[in-house]
Amino acid sequence: MNAHTVKLLPAQVTIEVPTGALVAEAIQLAGLQIAQPCGGQGRCGRCAVIVEQGAVRLRSTIRLSAADLDAGYALACQAVIEGDATVLIPEQERIERRLVTEKSARGMELPFAYDPAALQSVVAQQLKLPPPSLQDGGDDLARLQRGLADRGYDQVDIALPILRRIGEVLRQSEWSPWVLLERLEPFNGAARLVDLSAETLRPIGLALDIGTTTVSAYLVDLASGEVLNSAAEYNGQIAAGEDVISRIVFAGKGDGLQVLGARVRETIHELLDRLRKRTGVAPQDIHKVVVVGNTTMIHLFLGLPPESIRLTPYVPAANRPPRFTADELGLGVHPQAGVECLPGVASYVGADITAGALAAGLPSCEQLTLFIDVGTNGEIVLGTRDWMVSCACSAGPAFEGAGVVDGMRATQGAIEEVWVHSATLEPTYRVIGGGKPRGICGSGLISLLSELFVTGAIDHGGSFKLDLDSPRIRQGEHGPEYVLAWAADTEHGRDISLTKVDIDNLMRAKAAIYAGFSVLATSVGVELSDVQQVLVGGAFGKYINVEKAVQIGLLPDLPWDRFHFLGNTAVLGATWALLSSQARQQVVEIADRMTYVELSADNAFYDAFTAALFLPHTEIERFPSVAEVWERQAS
């Protein structure tokens, strides 16, 4: 057998290996280190090296992008040496950086050129008014109205609290007051005076996504279109139930509706306080709010009794609420700020989906597209720019980290990706922020469930194989469990585990979502395999690993390049609508065009759900790539 010389950089070590040896073997033979968290199965992508020159055949490139391949990256565990070669082992940190996605909201790109004068409805201007005199003795209000009319605003609503300050502000500003106006649409000179001040006014807006589990907020400078900062927090209503149905039941008892309204406002005020600390923008300086959320969350936010949402024929009080002011809603921003809830479609397809569809670009999609927003409800849209059908399936909050013993939101300290060594079942994981872990977020849960399945630690039904020789699999307080991090390695000094009960919750969640896809596709007579692109928004945001989501049967088994992860599309759509009246109009058009399919009245959904309560599915022919993994494991 031929021997080849492999030069390893940057250590400058040269070693001889036979044809057919793996680069990983050459590295180990040379006494150098390389991480192989998945046990050399080409699954984790963490053994990436750069082949600078030489004859190396790549057995698998599934963890590498086209750009990686162009840059010479290869997986050491999958690279077969067939001639002399020079291989650079990058610092592990560089590999990690390559794998981690940028998570900042501030870099948000708008799909339109931002032009505040043309696009947005809240504008700040300084007026120059003639001071009163004996010859021009008109009253202060008439003087202000004249100044506004000169700027094109000839029908302006002025609220009493502003009228009460008018004399003082006009004189303090020496008749050059700042006004902040909300133009009423369609704009024909009608507006609302939101604020009047002797100081410079800066228009600031807030986009709010009220999710059943998580509330997200983007603070936006309406003059520049820049997202100043963002924050998210668990919805304070969670203590009253984890899903929309238990919240509706809670709202129907005693003062439940008021309690839930107060709790979500507390969460919003906490977010506003966090945004104030980070940006210096006081909540009182927020002049416009656009809100999205599922229909129940919008009802609870507005204090509308939601009871009819859960009773047949499932009709909400309002899919398209009118605009309110912040003081009517007790929202701690500027009291005259306009608060606009974007339109929803039905009881279980709300404004989070219409705004999400906007952010996902559905109004211009020519291809057959599946758009899913995975939150506590899995909301699904199938269609093109010409037609859209939608449904909602109750997935539960497992993928948002709630309802799972060591689950948490995708913030600092959350394990977001896991690899399990196929021989030892020892895990390696990546933690958001890089420190010790505190828990596991949605993408980490998907990743862990898939790894446990693919390495054979659990069976198709999600049950642990308790006879495996690993201290990680044990009988815990809540039944069988897998210990992902020992107490000594965690931030709180407690083991982080995934229990059988957690697995059952995750399986139900993934089965509900997949069943939703199947029923929606059947309802319009297409196959899931006909779908040309899958756009994923919601709880897992941009960080979910497609391969692993397919392996557990959460996403349909389609070529990976058809999947696009968009992050929180609901808050993104709300932000666009905050910045552009055209975007707001597009959300209305989406709501007009979307047909809703009610799953609760559908036996086909129950059958599809039961069939999907398996890893990946009872019909394995729906998941050919997973069948391949199993065959590979068995051989």
- Interaction site with ligand FES (CB under 6 A): 36-38, 40-47, 63, 75, 77
Q: Tell me if residue 5 falls in helix, strand or coil.
A: strand
Q: How far is CA 230 from the centre of its chain?
A: 13
Four-residue CA torsion sign, 345, 295, 565, 608: negative
Cβ nearer to ligand FES, comparing 4 with 46: 46
Cβ nearer to ligand FES, comparing 61 with 246: 61
β-strands 533-538, 563-567 pairing:
parallel
What's the min distance (Å) between Cβ of 414 and ligand FES? Answer: 22
Give the Cα separation of 321 and 351 in Å (integer). 11
What's the min distance (Å) between Cβ of 44 and ligand FES? Answer: 4
Give the number of other CB atoms < 10 A from CB of residue 582. 13
Cβ nearer to ligand FES, comparing 77 with 380: 77
* Dihedral-angle region of residue 175 (phi above 0 means left; psi in -120 to 50 means alpha; beta otherwise): left
Q: How far apart are the first and last CA of the chain?
A: 26
What's the min distance (Å) between Cβ of 45 and ligand FES? Answer: 5
What's the min distance (Å) between Cβ of 78 and ligand FES? Answer: 6
Q: In 100-139, where does DSSP find H-type helix?
A: 116-119
What's the min distance (Å) between Cβ of 330 and ligand FES? Answer: 53
For residues 180 and 206, the answer to whether their CB atoms sit within 8 Å is no
What's the min distance (Å) between Cβ of 93 and ligand FES? Answer: 17
The string of DSSP letters for 531-567 reads --EEEEEETTTT---HHHHHHTTSS----GGGEEEEE
Q: What are 27's two structure tokens?
A: 């590295």
Cβ nearer to ligand FES, comparing 228 with 425: 425
Residue with tokens 């410079």: 200
Give the Cα separation of 162 and 298 in Å (integer). 28
Strand partners, 183: 191
Instruction: Assign 3-state DSSP to the chain and report helix, strand, coil percentages, each to 5.
Output: 35, 25, 40
Cβ nearer to ligand FES, comparing 58 with 108: 58
Q: What are 218's two structure tokens?
A: 């983007």
Among candidate residues 535, 582, 585, the one with its CA nearest the CA of residue 562: 535
What's the min distance (Å) between Cβ of 545 and ligand FES? Answer: 13
What's the min distance (Å) between Cβ of 353 and ligand FES? Answer: 37
Cβ nearer to ligand FES, comparing 94 with 320: 94
Q: Tell me if residue 73 falls in helix, strand or coil.
A: strand
3-state SS record for 204-238? EEEEEEECCCEEEEEEEECCCCCEEEEEEEECHHH
What's the min distance (Å) between Cβ of 269 and ligand FES? Answer: 45
Q: Tell me if residue 633 falls in helix, strand or coil.
A: helix
What's the min distance (Å) between Cβ of 593 and ligand FES? Answer: 44
Angle at 551 between CA 547 and CA 552, to 5 degrees: 125
Cβ nearer to ligand FES, comparing 41 with 569: 41
Cβ nearer to ligand FES, comparing 36 with 390: 36
What's the min distance (Å) between Cβ of 7 and ligand FES? Answer: 21
Cβ nearer to ligand FES, comparing 28 with 411: 28
Give the Cα separation of 134 and 138 in Å (integer). 9
Cβ nearer to ligand FES, comparing 75 with 227: 75
β-strands 204-210, 288-293 pairing:
parallel
Residue with tokens 């919750």: 505
Cβ nearer to ligand FES, comparing 63 with 183: 63
Among candidate residues 367, 336, 197, 289, the one with its CA nearest the CA of residue 575: 289
What's the min distance (Å) between Cβ of 97 and ligand FES? Answer: 17
For residues 40 and 62, the answer to whether their CB atoms sit within 8 Å is no
Cβ nearer to ligand FES, comparing 77 with 446: 77
Cβ nearer to ligand FES, comparing 65 with 176: 65
Give the number of other CB atoms < 10 A from CB of residue 455. 23
What's the min distance (Å) between Cβ of 55 and ligand FES? Answer: 20
